[in-house]
Amino acid sequence: MTKEPASPRVATMTDCYRQILEAVGEDPSREGLLDTPARAARAMDYLTHGYHQSLEEIVGGAIFTTDTDEMVIVRDIELYSLCEHHLLPFIGKCHVGYLPDGKVIGLSKIARLVDVFARRLQIQELLTKQIAEAIMNMTNAQGVGVVIEARHLCMMMRGVEKQNSSMTTSCMLGRFRRDERTRAEFLHLIGGH
């Protein structure tokens, strides 16, 4: 099996992971760990690939004209991100709703849009806001709502505040913020939060 040469980014991370293995008291030359620094580097590169994507290239071609003004809801989008404080995963679901004003985003692209921001080092509150603002900017919607429910491994694995390891954040823009009925309809449709 031939391997592609590592990118400079992955090569740097490989060196760093080798040092981390030594620092935790491991022997990076033992058989089970021989490929671990390179493997971990490729994994980290994948988990942060959102830094190298642009919204235009991911979603740009999938904005369509519409005459509907009914609320569009996409529920239960799987979400995997890394907390910027501990570099540990937070995992959950993202729910998106918006009221179109002439333009909609292709359905499958909403999940990819979420990923552009989730595949970076994040805090959940900011991630929620970035997704909402991106949808607003790309569609000029009358309003956008985003709710994220996620469990944070930095809480769960470190044994602190386990009872608070699940967190819900929301961002409401435009009519979702101004109009209580619109917001209530959205929250009802995503499952009553």
**So which residues are the catalytic ones?**
83-86, 124, 152, 154
Who contacts 193 (Cβ-Cβ below 8 Å, separation ≥6)?
A: 147, 149, 168, 170, 187
Q: 121 by DSSP, 3-state: which?
A: strand
Nearer Cβ to Zn ion, position 20 or 123?
123
Give 174's DSSP letter. E
Is 156 a binding residue for Zn ion by CB under 5 A? The answer is no
Is 86 a binding residue for Zn ion by CB under 5 A? The answer is yes
CB 131 within 8 A of CB 122: no
Of 2-10, 12-20, 39-47, 84-92, the window that binds Zn ion (rule: CB under 5 A) is: 84-92
In this chain, which residue has its C-beta nearest to Zn ion? 154
Of 26-34, 80-88, 113-121, 168-176, the window that binds Zn ion (rule: CB under 5 A) is: 80-88
Is 177 a binding residue for Zn ion by CB under 5 A? The answer is no
CB 97 within 8 A of CB 186: yes
CB 114 within 8 A of CB 92: no
Q: How many residues bind Zn ion (CB under 5 A)?
A: 4
Is 112 a binding residue for Zn ion by CB under 5 A? The answer is no
